[in-house]
Structure 1
Amino acid sequence: MIVATAGHVDHGKTALIKALTGQHTDRTAEELRRGISIELGYAYLPGDTGQSIDFVDVPGHEKFMRTLLAGVGCVDALMLVIAADDGVMPQTREHLALVGLLEIPRLLIVISKTGLATSDQIVAIERDVLSLIEQQNLPATICLHVDSLLGTGVEAVGAQLQLWASITPKPNSNEPARLVIDRHFKQPGLGSVVTGTLLGGQIGTGDFLQLSDNGALVRVRGIQIHHREAKQASAGQRCALNLSGDLQDAALGRGSQLLAKGSWAPTNRFDARLYLQEHNLRGTVQLHIGSAVVGARLVPLKGLQSSDSYGQWVLEQPLCCFHGDRFIVRDPASRTLLGSGVVVDPFAPQRGRQKPERLALIRAMDQVGPDQALETMLDVQSEGVDTQRFMLSRRLNSVPSISTDTLQIGGWLWTRANLEALIQQAIAAVSHYHQINPQLLGPVRAQLGKQLGLTADSRTLAAILRLALDRNHLRQTGPCLHLLTHTPQLDAQVTDWFDRVRPAFVECSPRPPVIGDMINQLQVDKHVLLDWLDRLSAAGLLVFIARNRYLLPADADRLLNVARGLAAEQHDGHFSTANFRDRSGIGRNHSVAVLEYFDRAGLTRASGNTRILR
């Protein structure tokens, strides 16, 4: 169990921790000289049931509020210390507000320095603080009295914390590892050491992790838990890790995280559920998330018929966050807390964020259980759900089991009923196209997508076409989709023109013939030739690649097989234009045109400087 200790400066937090654990959390020369906590301090108390208690001692002075927020971002309980000779102070009220904003489940009020006050003073302070707690609707609170110097009441505080530790559920260790770094230092003979709280998963010696700042890969050389060597750290524990690898001091400071390989996915914007005092925030404010601080601007998401408030945060610098992460909103100028929020979608889009379907999807994603969220998302999103993105955002190792009958294609998930209905609509649309255009081979992908209300690059369109083609409901010739039984009703002129131009295509196969050469051979006007080549393409006898570039369908298929062969040879399925040029032998300009045609036809997808098969 992780316990943060908070309270106004000089109210006895550090002394209480020393009385409980025998450990002094103030460690810097400045802290020892001034007698106040400036940095986060750490101590631990072995648990009676094997569940230890880790303390994070946070500064009490208002100037160090940023450090305090870094210490209370991921704790199981807050111990608020109030001096009997001083009473409730402004920082006391602010720390109580944090309990509600962060939804810290347990709150222990400790009235300290009781030897310096009368019993009436102590009762009055207890009455004041309990009244504040009631006004703010905070969780049920226990109030204890101590004098750390005399040792009175310390045992009762320890017993209460031990009881909470015994009933505090352990975080999930069966998820990707995630450690929030709160301190980094160099250890002679060891090198870089970081300390932090393991929020989920497990970390073992020899494991490779990624730094959230830059994705750099580091190796865990050693682990210490409570100053003892360990082979493994589990979720809910504080630990120190000795690291090796591509280390940069700037990437190891407070606010950074160590993530399981494959979990590194920084974002510049995220959608969140909001609990703000003022919903029309203007300008840049500070978000305190985990132990990180980042400037951000709020874009309200409007149009939801709900009492819940949602917004999109646009960040000044990217960070790694996940669904369910809680954050504090603060105005750095006035040093006031403005509210809090919970991350709903860490990978929010900029375009279409105010559309009704997007807002409905946010509501669907804002479910605590991943199985319930997935089912609701499938109901409201016709475009399906990206299972890899879903698992990453919720830090899952596998797709949750749901009752809905689904189909998964290429990492995307759809409800079977929706996809099967769309397949039948696609078949009907192609059949209708044949009826009104009997002389043409069939619609191209974009035309069919428009009939179904889907964009040409829609993954749902790609999925239903893949299934329809695999089941032989449809066939694709070049860019045209058609029924297996359909043959274009060609007139004599079309057939005659194809017979005239076909030798030029066969002669230079698989390169497209040069239009100028064809004009000279056939002795026709350029515009007449291009018009007929377009008509032959519409009839399925040729494939339009780009302006002045056409291919026989067999040659287009041959070049597609070249792309498939290249993709199969690479472990990640990517191949470059240069690879395609060299293997096909058609030259760079033709290669660029053919690959761009494959992109438009939905056969390949550009990925940086390479391509991958759809």
Structure 2
Amino acid sequence: MSNIVIGTAGHIDHGKSTLIKTLTGIETDKTKEEKLRGMSINLGFAYFDLPNGERVGVVDVPGHEKFIKNMLAGSAGLNLVLLVIDANEGIMPQTREHMDILTLLGVKDFIIVLTKIDTVDEELMMLVKEDIEQQLEGTVLEDAPVVEVDSISGTGIPTLLDTIEKKCETIEPTKATGQPRLNIDRSFSLKGFGTIVTGTLLEGELHVGDDVIIYPQEIKTRVRSLQVHEQDEEMSGPGKRTAINLTNVTLEDVGRGDVLTTKDNVTVSWMLNVKINLLPSATEGLKLWDRVRLGIGTTETFARVVPLGVEQLEAGEEGFVQLRLEEQVVARDGDRFIIRSYSPVHTIGGGVILDSQPKKNKRYDDSVLASLAIKEEGSIQDILVELLDQQGKGLSPKGFIATNIGKSEAEVADILVDLIAEGTIKEINGKFISINQYNRIANDLVAVLDKYHKNFRLRQGMPKEELKSRSELEMKGKEFDTLLGYYLADNLLKETNGSLSLKDFEVVYNKYNQAHRDKIESTLLKAKFTPPSDEDLTKGDEQIQEVINSLVGISVIRLDHTTVIHKNYYDEAVNSARDFITKNGSMTLADFRDMTGSSRKYSMLILEYMDKMHVTKRVENTRELY
């Protein structure tokens, strides 16, 4: 057992803060306003040691209905919750709402703490306990241990500590996998230190000196120092309440709702595809364009609802929904959230994010629904393949995959070996692509080239950059080049003189094009080393220009954008230059002009092209072999 964070939940004035003060000796109601009003407004943090010496963190969250969104902020990263119930009152409205929120957020471990027992007679205590048992039946709390305490007198506190210790021993600690991620729930400034942020480290490890980024602003900063439970540390791990002193960040730059992590470890989204569970107590269902409050991480924003596959969701139902957000949120697939009604405000449901960067979906698109079903229920292998199927960028590194499916890189490596062996995944230069996506990109490229060939029958192919642009692939140039290499090796495409075409494509000349070709080649052969310009050859005829372009690399060489030379004479020029330089060590422009009988203008054009093709290189006023 380690890295356990305990939260409190319950109705206002049921004794949460007093209980924590008794357990920890720390008063979590710290602000003047909180003391005057006699209730928690902001999150309070403390810690205490269990009988076995293990130290646990505590988050005291406000119970008043007006401060439910602060309660949501405090629930991120909780391992165990003490559900505090006043023995005089039993379960109250905010008790029930806290239970609903925590259950929807995936909390499974609870201890029910009956407080103020010294003020209740035995008969009322029995009635309250029976009512609690009935109300918790069928919920995740029905088997939770019940401990009776009085925080003022100390009655039952040792029993509570023993119960917490036993419960913590059964909780699996969060593994230190992935990149560090912390939802910021507080930010403040201390003289001589600067800006400090706090939160529970959800995953990964954070070290003094680490470079980190604050999202959604994407502010680059560095960890100056760390504290865990008010002790300076060099490192903090998952599940630990952590205070982080940041460099080069002002208090105005950062606040609750922001996320501290590493580059590209999260997405900043305007839309989310989610699975929602509506509470049976929800007064109304969810229909198209309903406005709701979305609580995710430590932030709350507004969203519009777009049900997928159904007209609307009714109370107690579950289903897929696209949330269109009014502000960007920072999220990852697998993150849990809460939705509350716009007005009057109450919790109506929650769920899990299945796609943190979706496109606008049609409401009844079977492929979208199937994809979401895989992400919700599929095996880890299915989820990995689905992730790669949806990657418009094509090739994905191992770290990206590990981050998005919630596994370590070592675990992902083992899964990838199996998927590659069965032919579901392809490895390319240390990155990975699903076979479905590999074939889909290939089909897209084929479709683009096929259309191009029909429109430009006399062109040998499409320039690579144009193909990349027209295919609308979201990948970098090097990755596109790498994929092209594989498609060329697979004999799906072919490359001719730097242009790409379908493997079976050949330029076919009709009798008119052939006549133009014959005349062009004849003219260039007669011109030798002083070729005419394109304009002289075409006389403004676009069809003749197309024929000239089709011959480039075959029987003509394009020296610049206005001039071509017959390939026979270019090859002769290359051979003559090589022989001359081999014999004499170098060659001047005048030497080359005299050899070819050309003019200075055309001699310069030919030599500059030879330099470009790495036949020769210019050294001051002479040419040497490259």
Which secondary structure state, in structure 2, belongs to the residue aligned with residue 219 of structure 1? strand
Which secondary structure state, in structure 2, belongs to the residue aligned with residue 74 of structure 1? coil
For 2:67 and 2:221, the matched residues in 1 are separated by 31
1:91 counterpart residue number: 94
From 456, 465, 472, the counterpart of 2:471 = 456
For 2:366 and 2:419, the matched residues in 1 are separated by 24
Cα 1:63–1:542 shift into 2, 3 Å: farther
Which secondary structure state, in structure 2, belongs to the residue aligned with residue 55 of structure 1? strand
Aligned positions, number: 529
Contact 1:299–1:313 (CA under 8 A) maintained in structure 2: yes
TM-superposition CA deviations, 1:398-455 (whole Å, max 9, x none)? 4542322232347863455985899899999999x99x99x96767599xx9xxxxx8
**Percent identity for Structure 1 against Structure 2:** 28
From 485, 488, 500, the counterpart of 1:469 = 488
1:221 aligns with 2:228: no
Cα 1:540–1:184 shift into 2, 3 Å: same
Residues 464-613 of structure 1 mapped to structure 2, 5 A cutoff: 465-470=484-489, 474-477=493-496, 478-481=498-501, 483=503, 492-499=514-521, 518-519=534-535, 521-522=536-537, 524=539, 526=540, 529-537=541-549
Amino acid aligned to 1:499: E
From 366, 373, 387, the counterpart of 2:396 = 387
For 1:554 and 1:79, the matched residues in 2 are separated by 87
For 2:340 and 2:147, the matched residues in 1 are separated by 31
1:311 aligns with 2:321: yes
Q: How far off its partner does 1:377 sit? A: 5.2
Which secondary structure state, in structure 2, belongs to the residue aligned with residue 17 of structure 1? helix
1:234 counterpart residue number: 237
From 282, 296, 305, the counterpart of 2:289 = 282
Q: How far off its partner does 1:319 sit? A: 2.1
2:579 counterpart residue number: none
1:404 aligns with 2:423: no
For 2:347 and 2:489, the matched residues in 1 are separated by 58
Which secondary structure state, in structure 2, belongs to the residue aligned with residue 20 of structure 1? helix
Contact 1:2–1:54 (CA under 8 A) maintained in structure 2: yes
TM-superposition CA deviations, 1:20-65 (whole Å, max 9, x none)? 1222111111222232212111111124556422111111111111
2:256 counterpart residue number: 254
2:39 counterpart residue number: 36
From 153, 158, 164, the counterpart of 1:155 = 158
TM-superposition CA deviations, 1:198-237 (whole Å, max 9, x none)? 0000111111111013111111111111111111100010
Contact 1:285–1:297 (CA under 8 A) maintained in structure 2: yes
1:359 aligns with 2:369: yes
Which secondary structure state, in structure 2, belongs to the residue aligned with residue 404 of structure 1? helix
Q: How far off its partner does 1:117 sit? A: 1.1
TM-superposition CA deviations, 1:254-285 (whole Å, max 9, x none)? 11121023425312112111112523153432
TM-superposition CA deviations, 1:345-397 (whole Å, max 9, x none)? 1111226675333332222333576444113556x769796525644534666
Cα 1:413–1:358 shift into 2, 3 Å: farther
Amino acid aligned to 2:207: G
Residues 33-432 of structure 1 mapped to structure 2, 5 A cutoff: 33-49=36-52, 51-136=54-139, 138=141, 140-245=143-248, 247-276=249-278, 277=282, 278-280=285-287, 282-302=289-309, 309-350=319-360, 355-367=365-377, 370-376=380-386, 386-388=395-397, 390-394=401-405, 398=409, 399-400=412-413, 401-402=415-416, 403-405=418-420, 406-409=425-428, 413-415=432-434
Cα 1:542–1:296 shift into 2, 3 Å: farther
Cα 1:233–1:531 shift into 2, 3 Å: same
Cα 1:120–1:351 shift into 2, 3 Å: closer
TM-superposition CA deviations, 1:117-163 (whole Å, max 9, x none)? 11121111111122111154546211111111111111111111111
Amino acid aligned to 2:268: P
Which secondary structure state, in structure 1, belongs to the residue aligned with residue 199 of structure 2? strand
What RMSD, in angstroms, separates the aligned Cα atoms of the two structures? 4.3
Contact 2:307–2:363 (CA under 8 A) maintained in structure 1: no
Contact 1:78–1:107 (CA under 8 A) maintained in structure 2: yes
Q: How far off its partner does 1:171 sit? A: 1.3
For 1:481 and 1:339, the matched residues in 2 are separated by 54
TM-superposition CA deviations, 1:84-138 (whole Å, max 9, x none)? 2222222122122223222211121111111111112111111112211115454
Q: How far off its partner does 1:310 sit? A: 1.1
Amino acid aligned to 2:339: V
Cα 1:96–1:537 shift into 2, 3 Å: same
Q: TM-score, normalised by structure 1?
A: 0.75
Q: Which runs of 5 or more residues in structure 2 are unaligned?
A: 556-560, 568-626
Of residues 96-105 and 358-367 in structure 1, the stretch that sits farther from structure 2 once superposed is: 358-367
For 2:66 and 2:227, the matched residues in 1 are separated by 32
Which secondary structure state, in structure 2, belongs to the residue aligned with residue 320 of structure 1? strand
Q: Which runs of 5 or more residues in structure 1 are unaligned?
A: 450-454, 544-548, 556-614
Cα 1:215–1:382 shift into 2, 3 Å: closer
Amino acid aligned to 1:160: T
Q: How far off its partner does 1:174 sit? A: 2.2
Amino acid aligned to 2:87: A
Q: TM-score, normalised by structure 2?
A: 0.73
Contact 1:13–1:57 (CA under 8 A) maintained in structure 2: yes
Amino acid aligned to 1:456: S
Cα 1:483–1:240 shift into 2, 3 Å: closer
